[in-house]
């Protein structure tokens, strides 16, 4: 067992579980949680290989990806909170059927 | 060193699997926090201390607060359903204990210098030089993106 194998195994497992979140859970909050898992899985590999190759560009990309993912979460939750019109209904993906601009 | 790395990776996957099988969103969110902290420990172990620090600040801190607020801001009947913990209380103590074990192993055992000989502070200095030098435009673009994202939260009637 070496570090690269562990990094790949952890990242692929996290990415798979994130995908399962997107496919199996209908609540929008849970879907955002799944996306976060996938982003983190990608970040693990980016950081691991950046450090391994002593490549500062990889670390910089991971940092920018982290900031962009945080912004994506903010927009996601803003959408989730704004779509909750009916007081008795939870925000679920099946409620999103149309786009309006 | 490798054992600590494998322990943190395994715990991250365990927490992610626990998040998936949780019946309540609140339980999923708490398990996600475990994943994010273990990923931070992984970053520290490979020698990217700054990334681990930012991971704790941004993800395990700010994003988790946002997720919990979104869960709790649901209508009362739904919020109650989402926050009723599916964990038995004694088992719930295992979550912070496992997170602590992962983080303590990261702090105690240090980086994976043997496996990753080039890890070190100089890499993070070079990254900072890159971000504030040739990549400044990308940093500005991401900053603008975060600003636009924060504007998205403002309601139309505010």
3-state helix, strand, coil in chain B (%, to 5): 80, 0, 20
Query: Residue A8 falls within a domain, yes or no?
Result: yes
Yes or no: say if B20 and A24 are a contact pair by the CB < 8 Å rule: yes
pLDDT digits 0-9 by tens, B25-77: 888 888 899 999 999 999 988 888 888 889 999 888 888 888 888 888 777 66
> Which residues in chain B (48-87) have CB-CB distances under 8 A to chain A?
48, 51, 54-55, 58-59, 62-63, 66-67, 70-71, 73-75, 77-78, 82
pLDDT digits 0-9 by tens, B106-156: 666 555 554 554 456 778 888 888 888 888 898 899 889 888 888 877 766
Q: Which residue of B lies nearest to A54 if distances are taken between CA atoms?
A: B118
How far apart CA B51 and CA B126 sit, in angstroms, is: 14
Same domain, B52 and B16: yes
How far apart CA B73 and CA B10 sit, in angstroms, is: 33
Residue A42: which CATH number? 1.10.287.3510
Q: pTM of the predicted model, to two decimals?
A: 0.82
Cβ contact B39–A24 (<8 Å): no
Percentage of chain A beyond pLDDT 70 is 83
Q: Is B110 left (phi over 0), alpha (psi -120 to 50) or beta?
A: left
The Cα of A58 is separated from the nearest Cα of chain B by a number of Å equal to 9
Say how many domains are in chain A: 1
Question: Does residue A83 sit at the B interface (CB-CB below 8 Å)?
Answer: no
The Cα of A64 is separated from the nearest Cα of chain B by a number of Å equal to 7
pLDDT at B84: 62
Residue B45: which CATH number? 1.20.120.1200
Same domain, B78 and B138: no
Q: Which residue of A lies nearest to B7 if distances are taken between CA atoms?
A: A6
How far apart CA A87 and CA A15 sit, in angstroms, is: 34
> Max Cα separation, chain A?
53
Same domain, B51 and B125: no
Cβ contact A75–B152 (<8 Å): yes
Q: What is the DSSP letter of B87?
A: S
Which residues have a Cβ under 8 Å from the Cβ of B20 and sit 6 or more positions away?
Answer: A17, A20, A21, A24, A25, B28
Same domain, B92 and B32: yes
How far apart CA A28 and CA B48 sit, in angstroms, is: 32
Structure ipTM: 0.87
| Closest CB to B63 among A2, A70, A78 | A70
On the 0-12 / 13-18 / 19+ scale of CB atoms within 10 A, B117 is exposed
Domain that holds residue B109: 2-116
> Which residue, B116, B131, B147, sits at the end of a domain?
B116
Query: Residue A70 falls within a domain, yes or no?
Result: yes
Domain that holds residue A25: 3-83
pLDDT at A75: 84
Query: Residue A94 falls within a domain, yes or no?
Result: no
């Amino acid at each position: 067992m070496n570090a690269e194998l562990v990094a790949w195994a952890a990242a692929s497992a996290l990415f798979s579980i994130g995908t399962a979140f997107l496919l199996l859970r209908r609540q929008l909050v849970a879907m955002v949680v799944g996306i976060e898992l996938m982003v983190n899985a990608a970040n693990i590999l980016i950081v691991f290989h950046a450090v391994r190759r002593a490549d500062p560009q990889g670390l910089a990309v991971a940092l920018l990806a982290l900031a962009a993912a945080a912004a994506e979460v903010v927009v996601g939750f803003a959408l989730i909170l704004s779509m909750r019109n009916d007081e008795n209904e939870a925000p679920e993906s099946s409620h999103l059927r149309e786009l309006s601009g | 060193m490798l054992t600590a790395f494998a322990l943190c990776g395994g715990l991250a996957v365990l927490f992610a699997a626990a998040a998936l099988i949780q019946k309540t969103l609140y339980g999923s969110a708490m398990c996600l926090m475990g994943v994010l902290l273990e990923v931070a420990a992984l970053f520290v172990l490979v020698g990217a201390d700054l990334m681990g620090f930012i991971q704790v600040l941004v993800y395990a801190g700010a994003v988790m607060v946002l997720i919990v607020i979104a869960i709790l801001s649901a209508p009362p009947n739904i919020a109650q359903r989402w926050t009723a913990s599916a964990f038995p209380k004694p088992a719930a103590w295992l979550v912070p204990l496992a997170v602590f074990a992962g983080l303590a192993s990261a702090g105690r055992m240090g980086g994976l210098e043997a496996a990753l000989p080039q890890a070190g502070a100089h890499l993070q200095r070079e990254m900072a030089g890159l971000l504030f030098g040739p990549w400044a435009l990308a940093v500005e673009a991401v900053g603008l993106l975060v600003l636009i994202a924060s504007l998205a939260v403002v309601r139309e009637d505010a």
